Amino acid sequence: MYTTTGNGSFMPEEDLLYTILADLKRTVREYTTATTESSCPAVRKLFTDLTGDTLRLQGELYQLMQQNGQYSTASKALRQELDKQLQSAQQTQQKVRSFVQQKSQQMPVGFHAQSRFDQTSQNNPYYM
């Protein structure tokens, strides 16, 4: 049974906003996973769009909570540390691109990863 607060809601507004914010964060993670696992371009675009929309909504809610003093921000990061992390991420991204490009050039002519997936899924009675 829910107990109501003085304003008629079943929980304080700040707690409700934190719950919504946490749910939006979780939803973004789920959409991101769905995006990375989608093989169909239309489905991938749908989840990419949903991720972007949810990130915007999460950002708006965060800003509102911060303006109302309901969410404290993390301590400021040093620019040098941010630049170091960015450089590391860019190096990793470049390595992945090179690896994918290298492996793509080594694939036999006419071989497609999707056709291999289709063959595997046809032989799997649990695949839907």
Per-residue pLDDT at 4: 52
Does 91 reside within a domain? yes
Per-residue pLDDT at 109: 64
Does 4 reside within a domain? no
Distance separating alpha carbons of residues 69 and 57, to the nearest angstrom = 18
Does 6 reside within a domain? no
**How many structural domains is the chain composed of?**
1
Whether this prediction's pTM lies above 0.85 is answered by: no
Does 1 reside within a domain? no
CB 85 within 8 A of CB 92: no
Per-residue pLDDT at 9: 63
CB 12 within 8 A of CB 6: no
Does 7 reside within a domain? no
Q: Print pLDDT tens along the chain (128 aa).
A: 344 555 566 778 888 899 999 999 999 999 999 999 999 999 999 999 999 999 999 999 999 998 888 877 777 778 888 889 999 999 999 989 888 888 888 777 665 555 444 444 444 444 33
Does 127 reside within a domain? no
Which range of residues forms the domain containing residue 61?
13-122
How much of the chain is in helix, strand and coil states, percent to nearest 5?
70, 0, 30
Does 2 reside within a domain? no
